[in-house]
Amino acid sequence: MSGADALVRMLEAHKVRHIFGLCGDTTLPFYDALYRLDHRIEHILTRDERSAAYMADGYARVTGKVGVCEGPSGGGATYILPGLVEANESSVPVLAITSDVGTRSRGHYPLTELDQEGLMRPLTKFSTVIQHADAIPDVTRSAFRKMTTGRPGTAHLGLPIDVQRGQVNPDDIWADPAHATFPAYPFGPDPDAIDAAIEAILSASFPLVICGGGILSSGGQAAFRTFVETLDIAVATTISGQGSIPETHPNCAGVVGSNGGVPATRELVQAADLVIFIGCRAGSVTTELWRYPAKSTRIVHVDCDPEVIGASYQTEVVVVSDARLGLDALNRELGSRGHETRFGGAAAVAPLKERKWKAFRALSGSTERPVRPERAIAALRSVLGDESIIVGDPGTPCPYISAFYELRTSGRALISNRAHGALGYALPASIGVATGAPGRKVVSLMGDGSFGFACGELETAVRMDIPITFIVFSNASYGWIKAGQKAEFDERYFSVDFGRTDHRSVAEAFGLKSWMVEDPDALEAVLKKALDHPGPTLVDVISQPLDQAAAPVSEWIA
């Protein structure tokens, strides 16, 4: 069989069912193999390679499978890279396949020549340009093994056009089925570390858990809830950790940190004499530049990646483990001790949550124009079911949905690109999410800056007839930067404002049913119409700019 045929068969062997990508000259043999061969893989044509990677990212997050994207040589390889960077730092396994110029033409200045391996290697777990067709099976297995074991991450395979045409032994086509999903072969903790962690926790007066996305990735929600309720311990989450436990649970204070945290939740972190990080890197946003918790706070850290533990805080107890297996071990140890320690977490959280929601309610009923983001989030929460999935861009929507769109169930129901925060993520990522979770309603929220990055993918949503509802917060500025210029640079606004776009008309031109909302009192009715419509829809909300808002972002509040 040809190299292109072999790659299709290797993807099929790894249970790949969807590929997001964009065609190019050097990809023609691979496309022809996808056309000719009998397989169950659906190729979804995108309008931009960056979008293809974001779609694969969203798909992987909701399916627990490797997301696959592809693009051509040269510009295609450079465009696909931003999505790989985001997924890799977010511990999401995405495989990028880029075609390449022929191996014998290198150094002779062929069109689109590029050192793809050198470009991708620092920013992925695994990157290689395959030099011989008979290496395709082995290299593909290596890529899936790297992506799904340990801390999940991304891989890149470069496929020169002559390698696609070379010959491969069909007997080499096989895969380890465990590498089709992540985490593959999760590892548990050292029993001594579990014993030390329990000793440290039980010695505290008021411990607090701060959990990240590791609990969701490992499927550890049930074990986490048992741990929380056994100890009656207070819980806070990162944005990526939302859904580890329902945010309506009495022990859960919600998101902490500089993006989505509020003064009341910060107080919870300040009150803790011991913090347990679980599946969380304790990065700058979660800790407000490593100020909360204070550096003197006692720390227990559970994570599958030993490199993140101790990177920012002196750690009293290190537990290197998959989050679910670590929680299972903690629960077993607590059960074996027959202890009766209860920390009063629910009682401590209750007044703080009440303060948080009282402040929110004072704004969420506002009839001001432009529409306050709090009003939009409250309206969306009132009409959207708990089974839905929200995908939010890191600009205007992120602090509001992370702080105030209260998740009533556990599981991955709120997705945002928190590693690098590039604009233009939510629109394409929501297409990947909807592809991977076809039975669930998907809502994509973005600012108008982000809309400009990715609006071409509205055509993809229409072509695929995917019933996503897109919501644009339209404020005619790069609002996050403008708010920063107000807070830190005495309102010296420079190069952050742009002309207002009629997003409703743009969406209608692509074929979406669309609305514009200027009246806050019309929000709920319009959103309900958009959500009930059988195809893709867009709601353009004329929104209050962030520099005039009360967003839950600590540096602006300060």
Question: Cα angle at 70 between 64 and 76, to 5 degrees?
Answer: 135
Q: Environment class of residue 533 by beta-carbon count within 10 Å: exposed (0-12), middle (13-18) or buried (19+)?
A: middle
Written as one letter, the residue type at 493 is Y
pLDDT at 225: 98
Contacts of 115 (CB under 8 A, 6+ apart): none
> Quick one: pLDDT band at residue 111, thresholds 50, 70, 90?
confident
pLDDT of 511 higher than 90: yes
Q: 3-state DSSP call for residue 18? A: strand
Copy the structure tokens of residue 255: 């998101």
pLDDT of 209 higher than 80: yes
Q: What percent of the chain has pLDDT over 70?
A: 100
387-420: pLDDT as tens digits: 999 999 998 899 999 999 999 999 999 999 989 9
> Quick one: pLDDT band at residue 106, thresholds 50, 70, 90?
confident
Domain ranges of the chain: 3-180, 191-348, 365-557
> Quick one: pLDDT band at residue 166, thresholds 50, 70, 90?
very high
Whether the pTM exceeds 0.95: the reply is: yes
155 with 123: CB under 8 angstroms?
A: no
pLDDT of 547 higher than 80: yes
Mean pLDDT, rounded, for 140-155: 98
User: Cα separation of 140 and 7, whole Å?
Assistant: 8
User: Cα separation of 36 and 28, whole Å?
Assistant: 12
55-85: pLDDT as tens digits: 999 999 999 999 999 999 999 999 999 999 9
In the sheet that 67-71 helps form, which strands lie side by side, from edge to edge? 42-45, 18-21, 67-71, 94-100, 155-160, 126-129
Name the CATH architecture for the domain at 3-180. 3-Layer(aba) Sandwich (3.40)
pLDDT of 277 higher than 70: yes
Mean pLDDT, rounded, for 243-266: 96
pLDDT at 340: 79
Copy the structure tokens of residue 119: 């470009």
pLDDT at 558: 62
Mean pLDDT of the chain: 96
Mean pLDDT, rounded, for 92-121: 94
Pick the CATH number of 365-557 from 3.40.605.10, 3.40.190.10, 3.40.50.970, 3.40.50.1220: 3.40.50.970
Mean pLDDT, rounded, for 235-260: 97
> Quick one: pLDDT band at residue 554, thresholds 50, 70, 90?
confident
pLDDT at 242: 97
pLDDT at 555: 83
Copy the structure tokens of residue 69: 């994207």
pLDDT of 246 higher than 70: yes
Q: How many CB atoms lie within 10 A of CB 148?
A: 26
b/e map of 273-291 (b: 16 or more CB within 10 Å)? ebbbbbbbbbbebbbbeee
pLDDT of 337 higher than 90: no
pLDDT at 173: 98
CATH number of 191-348: 3.40.50.1220
User: Cα separation of 270 and 263, whole Å?
Assistant: 10
pLDDT at 341: 83
365-391: pLDDT as tens digits: 999 999 999 999 999 999 999 999 999
Mean pLDDT, rounded, for 211-234: 97
Which residues is 158 bridged to in the sheet?
98, 129
Comparing C-alpha atoms, which of 246, 354, 237 is closest to residue 286? 237
